[in-house]
């Protein structure tokens, strides 16, 4: 098995909810959104790891913890053998250059007052990637890499469409020659035909620059297309990890099964008439006891209420967190 380049080890993250005056007077205990509840996950060198889940499952929080935009409350994130929480000064800057993030919203993640040249050369200057004289040449090279015309350098973000802005975001991340790209919902703000362009670009760049990619998304079809391995998250926990083909062919966690069944099939010949999952996501403020999915699970039994299932092997590189070894998919 390949070595883990970036790992999350039992990572937890809470966001405190401010108490109102009334709650304070009633001496109610402070509440918190439990965004991550003990996530353990390895990213291997050279692979694309897909992280899927619905809104509120903690996938974006995890992405932010992986690049240390957020510090985790509990647990560690280890990059290349070092706990990233211990890094400071020059070491931390080096880490920041090795692990880069691309954001979801191409409209808010680029500074509207800076030209593309300024956006890209800022990254090059801060990390001293090139001597000042070579910066312009490198900017041109980066634009070419993401297939933007050379005259794009002197325009501002508002002059570009969503897909082009996302390319600028990719170019900015690539400017510092990273090893790992963490892409949070890279294409979900884009139109279908433009999504395909950006996905193709990412696949091509990954091969050419041998990047390791963490691809966070809610779109199962997209994650299936792009990832070598997929981790499924539910309410701040990883419930199943497996190689893509295996996960889609033989999902072992009831939530994964429901998620796959709920995704509309692109083939009109294969329609179902029953909804795949009942109920809705419980509140991340008051989590259910035991297994977090038990409130919606068709297989739930007594043990699920009392005991938290851990990730256990279901095959050579396949783990799932369910008390049942092989729950039968419903319908």
Partner 1 sequence: MSEPILRVRGLTTTFGDGALHAVRDVSFDVMPGEVLGLVGESGSGKSVTLRSLLRLLPAGGRVAGSVCWHGRDVLAMNEAELRGVRGGEISMIFQEPMTALNPVLPIRVQIEENLRAHTKLDGRGRRARARELMDLVGIPDAARRLDEFPHQFSGGMRQRAMIAIALASDPKLLLADEPTTALDVTIQDQILKLILELRDELAMSVVFVTHDLGVVSATCDRMAVMYAGRIVEEGAVADVFACPRHAYTHGLLGSVPQAGAERSMLLSIEGTPPGLARIPEGCAFNPRCDFATDICRRTRPRLAEMSPGHHAACHNAGAVAAAGSPVRRAMRDG
Question: How many CA atoms lie less than 13 Å away from 46 in the CB half-sphere?
Answer: 6
Rounded to whole angstroms, how far apart are CA atoms 178 and 66?
14
Pick 150 or 264: Cβ nearer partner 1: 264
Give the SS3 label for residue 234. Answer: strand
Closest approach of partner 1 to the CB of residue 145, in Å: 17
Pick 113 or 270: Cβ nearer partner 1: 270
Rounded to whole angstroms, how far apart are CA atoms 91 and 89?
5
The number of helix segments (H) and strand segments (E) in the chain equals 11, 12
- Residues at the contact surface with partner 1, assessed by CB under 8 A: 54-55, 161, 163-164, 191-197, 199-200, 203-204, 218, 220-222, 224-226, 228, 244-245, 248, 258-259, 261-269, 271, 273-278, 280-281
Q: How far is CA 165 from CA 33, 61, 109, 168, in A?
A: 32, 23, 9, 5
Q: Which residues 6+ apart lie within 8 Å of 240 measured at CB?
A: 231, 232, 247, 251, 252, 253, 255, 256, 311, 318, 319, 320, 321
Closest approach of partner 1 to the CB of residue 296, in Å: 8
Pick 60 or 96: Cβ nearer partner 1: 60
Closest approach of partner 1 to the CB of residue 235, in Å: 12
Closest approach of partner 1 to the CB of residue 239, in Å: 14
Closest approach of partner 1 to the CB of residue 217, in Å: 11
Pick 280 or 302: Cβ nearer partner 1: 280
Is residue 129 within 8 Å of residue 121, measured between CB atoms?
no
Residues in a beta bridge with 214: 49, 182
Pick 78 or 260: Cβ nearer partner 1: 260
Pick 69 or 263: Cβ nearer partner 1: 263
Closest approach of partner 1 to the CB of residue 68, in Å: 28
């Amino acid at each position: 098995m390949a070595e883990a380049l970036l790992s999350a080890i039992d990572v937890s993250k809470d966001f405190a909810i401010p108490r109102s005056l009334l709650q304070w007077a009633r001496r109610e205990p402070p509440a918190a959104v439990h965004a991550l509840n003990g996530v353990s996950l390895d990213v291997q060198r050279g692979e694309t790891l897909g992280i899927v889940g619905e809104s509120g499952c903690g996938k974006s929080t995890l992405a932010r913890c992986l690049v240390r935009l957020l510090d985790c409350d509990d647990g560690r994130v280890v990059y290349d053998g070092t706990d990233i929480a211990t890094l400071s000064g020059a070491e931390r800057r080096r880490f920041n250059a090795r692990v880069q993030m691309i954001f979801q919203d191409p409209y808010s993640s680029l500074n509207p007052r800076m030209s593309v040249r300024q956006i890209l050369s800022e990254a090059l200057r801060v990390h001293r990637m090139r001597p000042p004289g070579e910066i312009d040449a490198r900017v041109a090279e980066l634009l070419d890499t993401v297939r933007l015309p050379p005259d794009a350098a002197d325009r501002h973000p508002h002059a570009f469409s969503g897909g082009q802005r996302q390319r600028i975001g990719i170019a900015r991340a690539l400017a510092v020659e990273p090893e790992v790209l963490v892409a949070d919902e890279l294409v979900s703000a884009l139109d279908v035909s433009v999504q395909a362009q950006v996905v193709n670009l990412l696949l091509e760049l990954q091969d050419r620059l041998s990047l390791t990619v963490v691809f966070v998304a809610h779109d199962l079809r997209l994650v299936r297309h792009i990832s070598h391995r997929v981790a499924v998250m539910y309410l701040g926990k990883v419930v199943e990890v497996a190689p893509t083909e295996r996960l889609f062919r033989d999902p072992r966690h009831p939530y994964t099964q429901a998620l796959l069944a709920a995704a509309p099939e692109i083939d009109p010949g294969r329609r179902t008439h029953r909804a795949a999952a009942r109920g809705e996501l419980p509140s991340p403020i008051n989590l259910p006891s035991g297994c977090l999915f038990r409130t919606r699970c068709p297989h739930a039994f007594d043990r699920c209420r009392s005991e938290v299932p851990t990730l256990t092997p279901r095959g050579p590189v396949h783990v799932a967190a369910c008390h049942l070894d092989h729950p039968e998919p419903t319908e």
